[in-house]
Amino acid sequence: MAQPVSFTKVKISSSFWDPHIQASRKESLPLIFSRLKSYGTWDAMRLKWKKGDPGVTPDILWDSDIGKYVEAASYALYHEKDPEMEAAVNDGIDMIVGAQQNDGYIGIYHTLVEPGKRWSSLAHNLELYGGGHILEAAVTRHITLGCPENDEFLEAMKKYVDLIFKEFGPGEGQRHDYPGHQEIELALMRLYDVTGDHRCVSLAQYFIEERGRTDPPREGHAWDIAARARGDDPDTFFPYYWPRPRCYWHMQAHAPIREQKEIVGHSVQAMYWLSSVVDVALATGEESYLDTVETLWKDMVDAKMYVTGGIGSVHIYEGFGPRYDLPNETSYAETCAAIGIMFLTQRLLKVRVDAKVTDVMELALYNALLAGISLDGKSFNYDNPLATVACSHRRSEWFKVFCCPSNICRFLNSLGGYLYGTDSADSTLRFTVHNYVGGEVTVGKSTWVVDTQWPWHGRTSLSVKEESEPIILRLRIPGWAKSYKILLNDQVTDHEVAYGYASLPARTYTPSDIITLTADMTAEYLIPHPLVHQNRGCLAIRRGPIIYALESVDQDPNIPDLRLVRVDGNAALVPVETAILDKPVICIRARGSVIEPLPEEKASFGQKDRVAKPVPERSVDLTFVPYFAWGNRGPSDMRVWMQESSIRG
């Protein structure tokens, strides 16, 4: 057990992270706000829209867009003043509070567009998802303001939550239903954290328990019951992103929680759900929940996760596919799903401090997640392919479903909350460092200073500004490091390793003490599991936590197509310090080759005994960039897994 150290106690000062965080504040958030304004999303919360008005009809998603902007900006404002952003946040809050109906309801769509149909399509219309995001916004705003006693926004949301306490539950006259897209469960648990109101836990648990249950007195699956009540026929009615009727698994509702053995369905939903399941397990002591979380987590990490930490391999439904089926060009690997991994790993680390968990957190953070925002903060990836062809993927300033941009800003401005944990061991304070990010953190009575060049160099030093109480320092040893060294004041120091974390003996640190961890960041080749047929005979490259990609913009102009490039698994991988759009990065150089198809053979297939000839191959220099940095320099192709040349002989 280790409680995460709150973002309020962490000050990031990192040559790596600061520019990303600054870009999110100075570019992304203003851009998102202006897009929400111009599209009509923002002002829809003023409830002026009427049927027949020109322009876009308010969408059920809009509450969440407003909520996520307000939340992300609240985090940003906690760290740095910005009067314009402050005004926007206050306007947003005033609108939300003003939009509350007498009974507590808040929701643009069901107030304006379909007022009689509240809660009628929970499984696919994101009504409680929107409610969850404005509730999270209120909780975050409350915390960033220092938890004031009179918080109008939080009070409004408490009234909203009172309504859903009344509306949903096992009682007679209550709705026996649950949200399709999990989110309110997470939000309720965050409200519980600040209010201690145990009804939040009960309702979150009700939603978790009810999900997928069909046993009497229920008359079938909640989806079917709600569909029939609306006048839809569940034999034929289903959302366009379901492959066929009754794909309950898409929302993890095909079976009750304790019966689920494989991670399936929408990947963002799955992460939000499992995060809330851990929260509820910890709040209630319901250990059986943790068994399910552990089973689904292992299934995901072993068989359904990309080498970038991305999850969700099926584009059409934004979700998990079969085990070991990891297509590169159509990987979904949604930015929000990588953020969901942050939520889940943050909670798993409360249960068990295990570097296997933190390694995944770090992998997703530096790769799948960070690829979701451009280096300048002005454009975003919704999905994150592992390879592109014909420059068919590009970052965008706008998506009709606008979830990822504000979500990544929300995450970047709360990154401090994902770095450290504290608990006590034998009554001694224990300070755990999960991720190595430069800055300061307050633990107990002292401030720790973390100095690191991570992820480019493996050396991190820690020191205290004031003498500490006796404290056990626990440092994560990255699973990728083939060797590491921990020094206290330049001397090798005793430590015990458990679950990939090194614990130093309890000690009272003084400002003259310096602890350093050095992890070997030698670049290396990765190979695929034989079942991942899309990567047969391929290699990928990793250095420290960074996964690399070949991007066409960096290559020899004589390479006409990255699909013709072959890498040599015996070639040296040479790190090179350079910069991409002013961002200092380490690229990797290696020798490889490019094959040349015979010009007369054009068809995508041919007869083996007629056309099989040795394909000419010539040697080339290849440059690999950090995966997160791809797609920042105009149209370009990219590839993470590259065919090994020795395969072709």
Size of the site for its own copies (CB under 8 A): 75
By CB under 8 A, tell whether 116 contacts its own copies: no
Choose the binding region for its own copies from 129-137, 174-182, 314-322, 333-341 (rule: CB under 8 A): 314-322
Burial (0-12, 13-18, 19+ Cβ within 10 Å), 609: exposed
Q: Which of 254, 485, 563, 633 binds its own copies (CB under 8 A)?
A: 563
Residue pair 96/154 in contact by the 8 Å Cβ criterion: no
Q: Report d(CA 85, CA 77) in Å as an integer.
A: 8
By CB under 8 A, tell whether 525 contacts its own copies: yes
By CB under 8 A, tell whether 523 contacts its own copies: no
- Contacting its own copies within 469-498 (CB under 8 A): 480
By CB under 8 A, tell whether 250 contacts its own copies: no
Closest CA to 462 of 477, 476, 452, 470: 452
C-beta of 228: minimal distance to its own copies in Å?
Answer: 10
Q: Report d(CA 299, CA 180) in Å as an integer.
A: 22
Is residue 289 classed as helix, strand or coil in its secondary structure?
A: helix
Q: Which helix (H) or strand (E) holds 449?
A: strand 446-452
Burial (0-12, 13-18, 19+ Cβ within 10 Å), 446: buried
By CB under 8 A, tell whether 599 contacts its own copies: no
Q: Report d(CA 78, CA 87) in Å as an integer.
A: 14
- Contacting its own copies within 41-80 (CB under 8 A): 54-56
Q: Report d(CA 618, CA 568) in Å as an integer.
A: 12
Choose the binding region for its own copies from 124-132, 196-204, 469-477, 608-616 (rule: CB under 8 A): 608-616
Phi-psi category of 74—alpha, beta or left, where left has phi over 0 and alpha has psi -120 to 50?
alpha
Choose the binding region for its own copies from 163-171, 324-332, 342-350, 512-520 (rule: CB under 8 A): 324-332
By CB under 8 A, tell whether 505 contacts its own copies: no
CA dihedral 544, 359, 361, 277 (to 10 degrees): 170
> Between residues 189 and 481, which has the closer beta carbon with respect to its own copies?
481
By CB under 8 A, tell whether 569 contacts its own copies: yes
Closest CA to 340 of 412, 249, 421, 274: 274
Closest CA to 536 of 427, 419, 403, 644: 644
- Contacting its own copies within 629-648 (CB under 8 A): 643, 647-648
> Between residues 268 and 412, which has the closer beta carbon with respect to its own copies?
268
By CB under 8 A, tell whether 114 contacts its own copies: no
By CB under 8 A, tell whether 321 contacts its own copies: yes
Q: Which helix (H) or strand (E) holds 626?
A: strand 617-626
By CB under 8 A, tell whether 537 contacts its own copies: yes
Residues in the chain: 649
- Contacting its own copies within 373-402 (CB under 8 A): 387, 389-390, 392, 396, 398, 400
C-beta of 534: minimal distance to its own copies in Å?
Answer: 7
- Contacting its own copies within 262-291 (CB under 8 A): none
- Contacting its own copies within 335-354 (CB under 8 A): none
Q: Report d(CA 552, CA 388) in Å as an integer.
A: 10
Q: Which of 495, 595, 620, 633 binds its own copies (CB under 8 A)?
A: 595
C-beta of 143: minimal distance to its own copies in Å?
Answer: 34
- Contacting its own copies within 183-242 (CB under 8 A): 231-233, 236-238, 240
C-beta of 68: minimal distance to its own copies in Å?
Answer: 19
